[in-house]
Structure 1
Amino acid sequence: ASDVNIDVSVREEACTLGIVPTASTTATLAMGDALAVALLTKRGFREEDFAFFHPSGSLGKKLFVRVKDLMHSGDALPITSPDASLTEAVMEISSKRLGTTVIAGGDRKILGVITDGDVRRGIEKWGKAFFDMRAREVMTRDPKMVSEDELAAKVLGTMEKHSITSLLVSDGETHVIGVIHLHDILKQGIV
């Protein structure tokens, strides 16, 4: 037995025959939504709570998937010495298939980055002489970096803002620990 009765009856259905439940189902649905919203408000239910119960859904992924969950690291990380030839840098870009290589010292200290776009522009500018150059001569210094603990959704916004497809992941200092690519984020359904 209940203490309260909520009457959502309607005077007549919308169907011309007056027998198909149309207006009554809509009224019941609206009342159910109103009760659910009132309960959410009373209990202080937040986006994070919703995401917790739906971790594989779009909202759950936006609030829980972090860079460290998606980044390429270890043997998958494209790293090139600053003294390497550009042929070596291009081979690293190509073999790791991320469109970039990190230019780093022996201690993995980030010195710069070379992207496939840098390679195209370099060939355009210097022709064959481009391949006689060293990585340090053409690298982009001070590349954009992110922390492994940042939300992937936030990083996606950074990529869109700066029109870039990959970001270096640093240890909080200036040492590379990974690379995250736009496609890795999109494959997760984080939009």
Structure 2
Amino acid sequence: MQLFDVYLNKGPEGLGVSIIGMAGGAVHRNGKIRQCDQIVSVDGCISTVTFTIGREPNLEDSEVAQLINQSLEQDRLRLLMQQQQTKAILCSACQSIFSKPTNEENSEEEEPPKTAFPPKPDKVVRPMANNDQQRKPNNNEAQIKAKIVALVSELDGSQKKAEQMNDVLENTSRIMLN
């Protein structure tokens, strides 16, 4: 392994280094630093910091490159699982909305109970003026539609976060491999 020092002057954009995390290391065991945390200072130095870097000659076969690739793959799988779960929830909600019979449909399917006596002559059945009056707004349906809108918004937000995280990991991987 080749060792060399790198001196960096931190600007307003920071050091440009993020934690990608490697299972089993000191950071992982300690638990105080998490994946995607940013390094703000090193040994109390805020403006100029020195890193001692170790680089393997063949980066593609190095443990660091393998760990980065594993981390990227895990993030991709996690994102895929989140998307599948959200789609399943949305599909389920849509099915419950569109398969739920309306009052109008219920009234057509239900037959009045048959009795041995004819109806009384003073009882007159009058049809409603408009079929729209028969159907009352369903509060559950409105809640489900609102939940779908919220889930779609949440899905969009999580996809953006996952894309940002993948960008950070890919940039880190590219830097480590160059």
Using structure 2 for the length normalisation, give the TM-score.
0.30
Greater length-normalized contact order (CA 8 Å, ≥ 6 residues apart): 2
**Per residue, is there more helix in 1 or in 2?**
2
Greater C-alpha Rg: 2
